[in-house]
Amino acid sequence: MSKLKIAIQKSGRLNQDSLQILKDCGISIDNGKDQLKASASNFPLEIFYLRNGDIPQYLKDGVVDIAIIGENVLIEKGEGIAIIEKLGFSKCSVSLAIPNTDKYTGLDYFQNKKIATSYPNTVTNFLKSKNINSQIHIINGSVEIAPNIGLADGICDIVSSGSTLFKNNLKEVEVLLKSEAVLAVSPKISGTLQAILDELQFRIQSVLKGRNSRYVLLNAPNDKLEKIISILPGMRSPTVLPLAEKGWSSVHSVLHKNQFWEVINELKKNGAEGILVCPIEKMVM
């Protein structure tokens, strides 16, 4: 049977998060230490561990069929590669930063200035769209040091917590784009692998829906049941079961995690008691 070839980052946080989502999809990987290639024991999947910056070319050439990769890397190097699923982890931004001591008055700050970056295409396209002319210095490595050694006036790099900028006396001044891990597909993928890809994507979607949702159980007085049900934004409609205590019911529903506190407080105000909130491992729609 043909195997779907997937590339993931060789090391780092994206590597760990990628392996975790595959594990949550029920895929067991026979992975020895320092292996560059491994196979799943219970799913037709072969895993390639690659440098993040090399993955777009492997996708373009059809060496791998799919990849879990940062959206920022695809924007920089992955023209023509389709994204079929945003995965919700490894979120960051690609941003311009300058020394803390400099006063920032807007993008005109960068007019005729030197910018150090590992994302020359992204920076050039962004500045061109804003009619800003800058000199781009390509650096593969610790971009943050460039202003401190006089190599550049500012930098463009990925920003997550901002701690690296802080340590290097820099401040974020412009966000070029927001990024997260995505599932990307080679333009050369074989049609015979589509069924395997569909099954993998279905599993990933079920895991992501579970991660983004919470299962809620609560007790409600019957005379307030209609109002409580109207507050719950659940799936189709909540499950309502009578309790042993007369005049009370148990209500079961699902909430999006971002709606959680707002909805819970509203439920309490309207008489809900004994509210229990549980994580959801997977949710199949």
Identity at 108, one-letter amino acid code: D
Mean pLDDT within 240-256: 91
Backbone dihedral angles phi then psi of residue 37, each to the nearest 5 degrees = -150, 140
Per-residue confidence (pLDDT) for residue 234, from 0 to 100: 59
pLDDT at 172: 95
What residue spans in the chain does CATH classification 3.30.70.120 cover? 213-279
Of 134-143, 171-180, 199-208, where does mean pLDDT reach its minimum? 134-143
Domain 92-179 CATH superfamily: Periplasmic binding protein-like II (3.40.190.10)
Pairwise pLDDT comparison (236 vs 18), residue with the higher score: 18
pLDDT at 30 over 80: no
The helix/strand/coil state of 205 is: helix
Q: Which fold has domain 213-279?
A: Alpha-Beta Plaits (3.30.70)
pLDDT, average across residues 24-52 = 88
Query: Average pLDDT in the 214-234 region?
Result: 88
Asked if pLDDT for residue 282 goes beyond 90, the answer is no
Distance, C-alpha 192 to centroid of its chain: 28
Q: Which two tokens stand for residue 161?
A: 């917590």
* Structure tokens, 22: 């595959």
Question: With contact defined as beta carbons under 8 Å apart, do 270 and 224 qualify?
Answer: yes
Query: Boundaries of CATH 3.40.190.10 in the chain?
Result: 4-90+180-210, 92-179
Q: What is the pLDDT of residues 112-131, one digit of tens each?
A: 999 999 999 999 999 999 99
Multiple choice CATH, 4-90+180-210, 3.40.190.10, 1.10.3720.10, 3.20.20.80, 3.20.20.70: 3.40.190.10
Q: 86-103, pLDDT tens digit by residue?
A: 999 999 999 999 999 999
**pLDDT over 90 percentage in the chain:** 71
Query: Cβ neighbours of residue 73 under 8 Å, at least 6 residues apart?
Result: 52, 53, 55, 56
For the chain, the average pLDDT equals: 91
DSSP 73-118: HHHHH-TTPEEEEE-S-S-EEEEEEEETTSPP-SGGGGTT-EEEES
d(CA 153, CA 146) in angstroms, rounded, equals 8
Q: What is the pTM of this model?
A: 0.86
